[in-house]
Amino acid sequence: MLSRILRIGLFALMPGFLLTACNVEETPVEPLRVLGEPPGTAVIGAEYFYEWAVDGGKGIPDFTLTNAPRWLSVEWVENKFRRGIVMRGIPGITGGRHGTGDLTQDTDDTTIVLSVTDGDQLVTKSFSISVPKNLIKGVSSEVDEDTDMERPVSEDGKPIPVCESDDAGTWNSEQGDPPAVPDGMTLAYVLATLDAAPVEPVVFHFQPVSATSSGATPGVDYVEREGYLTFRAGMTRCLIAAFVKKDTEAEPNEIFSYEFDRVVSGLGDVTEKENQAVPKVSVTILDDEPRVNFDQAVISSTEGKTVTVTARLNKAPEVAASATFTVVDGETTADSNDYEILGASGNTVNFNPGETEKTFTIELKLTDDSDKDADEKLTLRWDACKSSEVRTACAGDTMPSMTLWINEWLAPVYVNLPPDSSMGERGVFADAAVDDWGRVYVAYNYTRSNGHQAGEVRVYDRTGVNLLQTIPFASGDDRFDARIGAIRLQTQSGTGKPALVLYVVGSANGRFTSVPSGSAPALGGWDAVAERWERADVNAPLVVNWRVQYGSDQDDYANSLAITTGGELYVVGDTDGAVENDSNLGGRDGFVLFLSETGQFRYAINTGTTGADHIASARIGSSSAVDFAGSAVGEYDDLPRGGRDAITGSYNTEGRVVRKDQFGSPLTDEILALGKLSTGYVSAGYTTGSLFEGRLGFGGEDIMLAYHKTLSFPDKKIQLGTAANDRALASAGRGLYAFVGGETGGSLVAGTSVVDGKDGWFARYEAKPEDKDLIQTWIRQTARPGADRIVSLLPTAQNKVFVVDEVEGDAGNLLIIWPITPEGEDLVVP
């Protein structure tokens, strides 16, 4: 009965069991993946190890390597941190110790295939492994001949061992310490490296290399050493000791070398292929004896004066030292009778032990050098270290040479404007220039006796004694008014080119030229005039090449100019009309006129605002564009600051705007001059306000200077002055230096007092392009009788700067011209 009941119950429950069994689902198997990219190189004698990551699949997969090298094996690894296949081996050692037989070349690398399967899925990975030699290399070093070299250390800060050994591989010092240093010697190290850490020691042989032309002498400069070097297992860097002899002789840096010529034992090598040069490692012996330099690289002085020259050692000598200099023929134009060197017999300067500075003098003779083409110079150079000569001090590397320029402008030049009272009166300065031969060109304007205005350029020789030529502007016609705005010089070279070109621009109120080709002006009032004068050779007079006249039917005034390297000419200035039929923007505009080398019209553009605008100065910028500066009333490039603002701008050769800028104070700001430096520009003018928010001006008009890396904006602005009126009127650049000058109504320079209401001032500023800064290096105030102003500063190739000082007079002004050094010292006393 019980069994029957149980049977009935089981039959009743069976459908539920069956239903449950039908609803069970198996967990899906993840795709089998093998991840990784093994290194393609296994160095002979060094362990190779790589682990492939494996995931997915069922259970532990099966895996095999096809075409595997005999030294390579694989094994499965699985724990809570990783799951995968490890490949490892040591070429040349594992798999039967076949040594160099396991080496391969890139051309015979075999494709190896790793196959991994879980029974249902198969994944393969193909790769190659090349087996190159384990090569030794050397890392060269430098050592001061009198100071032991600091022992190199590894990345963990521990000293690298000295691995010198016997031929069996036993280190000379078990701890890898350096050997004892013999008396009178300096310890140096050279570093040897292996491409990979070996699992067994590798022994190499090293030996000295024969000396070269720049080599040290064995037994004299260093100790020859030959021996063995052993890399223990796991090491890739070893040191070899070298011994350098101490001495007190000044000589050039010298070099000696070791070479690793063969492997003695172990799986290492010195070359990749047969017949290759074995690796070398060199030691440079840095001579630590004193080096001598001049304290100045360039000096300027005047005939009849004595110049003191300072020689400096970079360190005090241990014993008496001497240094010899040479007069450099190719860089000296002065005759030997033009100077005398005193206090350096045989051109040798002697230093006692402990001394680092000595002086000698050069006496400059008064001679008649009027037949010379240019100022003379004398160049001295300290003799270089030579291994063939014994010397205790030789040329350094800061100032090993010095050039002395001999100024022959022996007295100030005084120019009355106009020079002859019969010519007229009320003469005023216009511009000045200096050429590569030291000749000075002075342009001025005056009123003729018939009442018409006129302009001239006077040319003085490099001594300032002789007036070489007087050039009338606008053909010198006395029937109309003409006045010069600016002049520029250009030195030229090449077949058929004149030696020098003088460009003169200005304005005239009469027609004296034919209408130029390409121009359709309706000339009227004052017009812009440009002239080109040429000097056929260095000493030939200037002759006019062409003269042109451009403008509008209103007044047009040419104020400045710029010349491209190809001789094309930009003329800039002001116009009340539309120059060459361009459009007037309102009121007085600035203008840019571009002419070819032959004076032909290229383009003319009015530029400015709806108010009164003025372009005062121009220079050539990058890509032959014209860069200019001036002032404007109204919106030029930005919202007007108030009153008259300073402006800068640039146009390219096609007449397109390159850049514009507008800056200033809420009052009046004007740029009157623009000087070009090697790294930008320095603009100069004045302001009646304050260039800096929250600060007041000094009073009246203040000097305004600005450094512009480009004319997009001023990188550095400077405002200085007194309680009276002060202006900057001149700016000129040479290298990183800007020479600026102008007028002051007060004591601009401490310790000076203004004379007759107005003095001239001039200064040098150094541009700091990295810091976008402008630093004053010196400043002077004339403090001379008569109201005067510095109107021009002319840096020259002869390392001097001509100062042009204009003294006001009732009938006409007086110009005083004299040279100074770039350091601000008078070469002649004005």
Give all domains of the chain, ordered by start, each with its CATH number.
33-127 (2.60.40), 136-286 (2.60.40.2030), 293-407 (2.60.40.2030)
pLDDT at 281: 92
Look at residue 25 in the predicted model and tell me its pLDDT: 58
Residue 343 has pLDDT above 90, yes or no: yes
* Peptide bond preceding 418 in cis form (omega within 30 of 0): yes
How far does Cα 411 stand from its chain's mean position?
Answer: 38
Per the structure block, which two tokens stand in for 643?
């009153």
Compute the average pLDDT of residues 433-449: 94
What confidence score (pLDDT) does residue 11 get?
44
- The first and second tokens of residue 692, run together, are 């800096």
| Cα–Cα distance measured from residue 731 to residue 720, given in angstroms and rounded to the nearest whole number | 15
Q: What is the pLDDT of residues 86-106, one digit of tens each?
A: 999 999 999 999 999 999 865
Segment 208-241, tens digit of pLDDT: 997 665 678 888 889 999 999 999 999 999 999 9
CA distance 549 to 509: 10
Alpha carbons 464 and 451: distance in angstroms, whole number:
31
Per-residue pLDDT reduced to its tens digit, 562-590: 999 999 999 999 999 999 888 898 889 99
Tens of pLDDT along 547-560? 999 999 999 999 99
Structure tokens, 3: 């069994």
**4-59, pLDDT tens digit by residue?**
443 444 444 444 444 444 455 567 889 999 999 999 999 999 999 999 999 999 99
CB neighbour burial string for 493-522, b if at least 16 within 10 angstroms, e if fewer: eeeeebbbbbbbbbbbbeeebeebeebebe
pLDDT single digits (tens) 226-282: 999 999 999 999 999 999 998 777 677 889 999 999 999 999 999 988 878 899 999
pLDDT in the model for residue 389 = 55
Is the model's pLDDT at 293 over the cut of 90?
yes
Q: Is 17 left (phi over 0), alpha (psi -120 to 50) or beta?
A: alpha
Strands 48-55 and 62-66 turn out to be unpaired
* CA separation for the pair 640, 620 (Å, rounded): 27
Rounded average pLDDT over 711-727: 95
pLDDT at 168 over 90: yes
Give the residue carrying structure tokens 């030292």: 321
**Per-residue pLDDT at 514:** 60
CA dist 546 and 409 (Å) reads: 32
- Predicted local confidence at residue 497, as pLDDT: 83
Q: What span, in angstroms and rounded, lies between the C-alpha atoms of 216 and 495?
A: 51
* Cα separations in angstroms, 32 against 87, 109, 140, 289, 652: 19, 28, 52, 72, 68
- Structure confidence by residue, pLDDT tens digits, 739-762: 999 999 999 999 999 999 999 999
| Among candidate residues 388, 387, 380, 384, the one with its CA nearest the CA of residue 397 | 384
Q: What is the DSSP letter of 3?
A: H
Computed from CA positions of residues 190, 191, 194, 200, in that sequence, does the dihedral angle turn out positive or negative?
Answer: positive
Contacts 24+ apart (CB under 8 A), 779-786: 779/748, 779/749, 780/749, 780/824, 781/744, 781/747, 781/748, 781/749, 781/752, 781/754, 783/752, 783/753, 783/754, 783/755, 783/759, 784/755, 784/759, 784/760, 784/830, 785/755, 785/756, 786/755, 786/756, 786/814
What does each C-alpha distance from 190 to 170, 222, 400 come to in angstroms?
A: 20, 14, 32
Whether the pLDDT of residue 424 is over 60: the answer is: yes
